[in-house]
Amino acid sequence: MAFVDHDLHIHSYLSPCAGPEGVTQTADNILAYAVKNGFNTICVTDHFWDETVRGAEGTWYEKQNYAWISSILPLPQDENVRFLFGCETDMDKNNVIGLSPENYGKFDFIVIPTNHLHLSGFTCRGDEDVRERAALWCSRLDSLLEQDLPFYKVGVAHLTDTGIMGGRGYLEALSIISDEDYIRLFRKASRRGVGIELNFNWLKTNDDDMEIHLRPYRIAKEEGCKFYLGSDAHALHIFEGMRENFTKISVLLGLEDKDKFII
Ligand SMILES: [Zn+2]
Ligand SMILES: [Zn+2]
């Protein structure tokens, strides 16, 4: 499976949500995961909010500045693996992105989530119902695609994950969104050249729920979007079975080399 040769969304011990287990999430251990699985490109993408952009004062993002996340550099390399340096920034409730243009050049790859809606008060009010969350899914992605970003090295993170809404809310919200809205947004994404991330743990998802995940990605593929795989791993045990998961995702979507987002 030629598509499964990379993982472009990985957290190190420098992301606070890695928790106590995160201490083993070192650059060397991440590289070892890539070597073991035969990947040729990986990217470390720790949580980041640029200290030159206002909006994160008083939040946990304040500590996630450039000095902190770049302390992992230089990254170890392997003759068969490109180990890239990136970040996962965020978009606040005013659709401000936590990365200023003068710092785009510091990163090989920039992951931007539009659905970190579990960060109540920061990315959204927090009390929205499922219809409002579905509307936010659309409007925030639309806003991202309108911005002046280096899309050739930008990926939209985990578009179908639980950050949209807790419980089964995220699945309900994704089901509410019409084909027409998905088509409109992914057509724009394709034109802008942004990467679409695939990362949900589909090994543990039943067939009905999987269809909910697959619908937007099938439409994205139809519209010509390019995709990349991202484990979003914060701890070493998440890497186990990831190649199998990536393979299942790529087979279900019929992804080939031509569909790959390449940095
Ligand atoms: Zn995320
Ligand atoms: Zn992440």
C-alpha 45 to ligand 2 mean position (Å): 7
C-alpha 111 to ligand 2 mean position (Å): 8
Q: What is the pLDDT of residue 204?
A: 84
Q: What is the pLDDT of residue 1?
A: 52
Q: Which ligand is nearest to the CA of 233?
A: 2
Average pLDDT per consecutive 10 residues, the chain (263 residues; last block may be shorter):
92 91 92 97 98 93 97 97 98 97 98 97 97 98 98 98 96 98 98 94 87 97 98 94 94 96 95
C-alpha 200 to ligand 2 mean position (Å): 12
**Where are the domains positioned within the chain?**
6-259
C-alpha 207 to ligand 1 mean position (Å): 24
C-alpha 128 to ligand 2 mean position (Å): 23
- From the candidate CATH numbers 3.20.20.140, 3.20.20.450, 2.30.30.40, 3.40.50.850, the one assigned to the domain spanning 6-259: 3.20.20.140
Q: Which ligand is nearest to the CA of 113?
A: 1
Q: What is the pLDDT of residue 19?
A: 80
Q: Which ligand is nearest to the CA of 234?
A: 2
Q: What is the pLDDT of residue 22?
A: 78
- Taking the mean position of all CA atoms in its chain, how far away is CA 238? 15
Task: Spell out the SS3 assignment of the chain.
Answer: CCCCCEEEEECCCCCHHHCHHHHHCCHHHHHHHHHHHCCCEEEEEEECCCCCCCCCCCCHHHHCCHHHHHHHCCCCCECCEEEEEEEECCECCCCCECCCHHHHHHCCEEEECCCCCCCECCCECCCCCHHHHHHHHHHHHHHHHHCCCCHHHEEECCCCCHHHCCCCHHHHHHHHCCHHHHHHHHHHHHHHCCEEEECCCHHHCCHHHHHHHHHHHHHHHHCCCEEEECCCECCHHHHCCHHHHHHHHHHHCCCCHHHECCC
Q: What is the pLDDT of residue 245?
A: 94
Question: What's the CA gap between 14 and 170, in Å, rounded?
Answer: 28
Q: What is the pLDDT of residue 5?
A: 97
pTM to 2 decimals? 0.97
